Amino acid sequence: MPPRLAHERTAAICTIVIAAHLAQPHRGSQPTLVMDMGSPALKVRAAYSYRDDTAVPRFDDSSPIVFMDGQCALCTRAARLICKFDRRNVFKISPTASDLGRAILAHYGLNCENPASWLYLEEGKAYGSMEAVIRVGTRLGGRWRSVALLRLLPPRARDWLYRWLAANRYRLFGRADMCAAPDPELRRRLLL
């Protein structure tokens, strides 16, 4: 196994173990996570319900769409990786600050001003947070399917890990403007 791949797997396993440990209640104390990022839970909606919402602009929903923070360096890197490894060229990407992104997030009850979640639309159904990340990885195939291992974590641990990353994304990874990315393949996939 190449050293880089071994390092990436080790880091992923460590992250999973730490998240599982932190999600468990400890004697005498409860771990707390204080943040105001809006509701991380999606409103339950019927498939393609956004088509009937007059606040949501019309868009091509014939392929999977990932809505993510267009100012986050981690999300921008993820968007570039999706472009690179999407061999079937099916994924579209929309920054959450775009008109479409804001409308879709609002439709599903997420805070448009400070999104706590990726939103993934596939066949008209919405998935958020870590479930969105897992479904994107699974759909990309290959080694990206390994993100499905996150499902081994209890849902509470997955939610905690995602919320912690979302709350600290700028501090840990910095900012980058997805729409200013010079990558023509990324620009081609953007839905604004």
- Residue boundaries of the structural domains of the chain: 38-152+174-189
Q: What are the two backbone dihedrals, phi and then psi, of residue 183, each rounded to the nearest 5 degrees? A: -65, 110
Q: Please give the chain's pLDDT, 192 residues, in tens.
A: 565 554 455 444 444 434 443 333 333 333 322 222 334 578 889 999 999 999 999 999 999 999 999 888 889 899 999 999 998 999 999 999 999 999 999 999 988 777 777 899 999 999 998 999 999 999 999 999 999 999 999 988 998 999 899 889 889 898 888 777 668 888 888 887
Q: How many CB atoms lie within 10 A of CB 102?
A: 21
C-alpha Rg value of the chain to the nearest Å: 17
**CATH classification of 38-152+174-189, choosing from 3.40.1700, 2.40.50, 3.40.30, 3.40.1710?**
3.40.30
Q: How many CB atoms lie within 10 A of CB 60?
A: 8
Residue type at 65 in one-letter notation: I
What confidence score (pLDDT) does residue 90 get? 95
pTM here is 0.76
What confidence score (pLDDT) does residue 93 get? 96
Q: Which residues on neighbouring strands pair with residue 175, listed in sequence order?
A: 72
DSSP letter, residue 44:
P
